[in-house]
Amino acid sequence: MRLGDISVAYAELMARAVREQGGQPEALLAQYQLDAVRLASPQARISIPRFMRLGHDLIQAAAMPWLGLAMGRLTSAPVMGLAGLLAQSAPDIRSACRALTDYELLSSFNARGRSSFQTIQGQGVLQFYSISPYNGYNLFVVDSVLAGWAQFLQQLSGRRDILLRVEVEFAPPAYRDRYADYFPCEVQFGATRNALVLKAGALVLPVLGRCASTYAALQTLAARELERVRLGLSYRELTERAIGPLLNGQTPTLEQVAQRLNSAPWTVRRRLQDEGFSFQQVLNETRRDLAVSYVRDTALTLGEVAYLLGFGSAAAFQRAFKRWTGEAPGRFREHRGKNYISTASSTSSS
């Protein structure tokens, strides 16, 4: 199982943000094999690890740790794909928020989870999933998503007063003063989630560019595309995607996975058996595949990887990893990880 991938539109957005700050991203784009043809391909994706490495390298090259915030300011409907175009024609802000989360999978997939929207005591909560632990490779990801949502919803409503607050899981970064330039509200660091909290009453505000016929047509198209993506997955792959977000600090049970699949446990077990697998086998192999990806493709410590995969200790994880691959994780990372950028494929089609 891969850690995930994202539309190359977001790599193009990243490069544009650097250019707007006077930087020159061309050399790094070439290093990551992101030429004009690749960036213009509607189906091209870049893996999540490569996307984070590219972001980190651009931040270093441009001395621009607030890159994600700058990306957010430039976010628009075309960057978000069908979800963004659907939101742009939606009748109100509530429907726009639902479009952004319901069809997120059309432009990005992450094994760690998916974004969500809910209403709590009249306030809208647009939440990005946790990608903790945080480091120089992923702070910009949270920044770009939250700032992008904020910018986009303000464009749709024509209002700058719809946000009550922004909640961010990580501690205040060195560039914390920059947040005031991008969010016209309180930014709460060290929170329990990554989220935009919209004021009561904001959800019923009309979208300025709303169009009922276009919205209906795009809903049909987006639903068809989402079904096409899902139909392209085996039940084993669907189960892997349900397991991934549940591995955070625990070993998920069949019942928990079945709940995420909106199925009864016996149904999950039977459908996996129909494809020749047991639930325990899929769970073990999902952990193995994610372990290899985390060790090879990320800068996470082995202790952090152990936690993310639900192991009780780093030692237990290291024993399992050596059993799976024949090498200790540190040695595996040393041999396989350092050449990752130059040898891995930069994009995949889906």
pLDDT tens digit string along 107-145? 999 999 999 999 998 899 999 999 999 998 999 999 999
Q: How far is CA 105 from the centre of its chain?
A: 9
Residue 110 pLDDT:
93
Q: How far is CA 8 from CA 17, 107, 298, in A?
A: 14, 9, 19
State the Cα–Cα distance between residues 115 and 263, nearest whole angstrom: 21
pLDDT at 337: 60
Write the single-letter amino acid at 302.
L
Counting residues of the chain whose pLDDT is more than 90, the rounded percentage is 81
pLDDT at 10: 95
Q: Are strands 186-188 and 163-167 parallel, antiparallel or unpaired?
A: parallel
Which has the minimum average pLDDT: 105-114, 143-152, 171-180, 341-350? 341-350
User: Which residue, chain included where needed, has tokens 């976010």?
Assistant: 75
What is the C-alpha to C-alpha distance for residues 314 and 324, in angstroms, rounded to an integer? 15
Q: What is the pTM of this model?
A: 0.90
Helices (H), 121-163: 139-157
- Domains in the chain, CATH or no CATH each: 68-226 (no CATH), 233-344 (1.10.10.60)
Strand partners, 15: none
pLDDT at residue 66, as a whole number: 96
Q: Mean pLDDT over residues 180-207, rounded?
A: 96
In angstroms, the CA 182 to CA 71 distance is: 10
CA distance 126 to 114: 11
In this predicted structure, what is the pLDDT of residue 230?
A: 83
Mean pLDDT rounded to a whole number for the chain: 91
φ, ψ dihedrals at 174, nearest 5°: -60, -25
pLDDT at 96: 98
CA dist., res. 183 & res. 160, Å (int): 9
Query: Is-contact 257 242, C-beta < 8 A?
Result: yes
What whole-number percentage of the chain has pLDDT above 70? 96
| Digit-coded pLDDT (tens) for 264-288 | 999 999 999 999 999 999 999 999 9
CB 100 within 8 A of CB 79: no
In the DSSP assignment, the letter for residue 44 is E
Q: From CA 289, how far away is CA 3, in angstroms rounded?
A: 9
The residue-averaged pLDDT of 57-79 equals 95
**Does residue 11 have a pLDDT over 70?**
yes
pLDDT at 350: 34
Taking only the tens place, the pLDDT of each residue in 295-335 is 988 888 999 999 999 888 889 999 999 999 999 998 898 88
Tell whether the model's pLDDT for residue 340 goes beyond 60: no
How confident is the model over 221-276, as pLDDT tens digits? Answer: 999 999 988 888 899 999 999 999 898 878 899 999 999 999 999 999 999 999 99
Residues 6+ apart with CB under 8 A from 50: 32, 297, 341, 344, 346
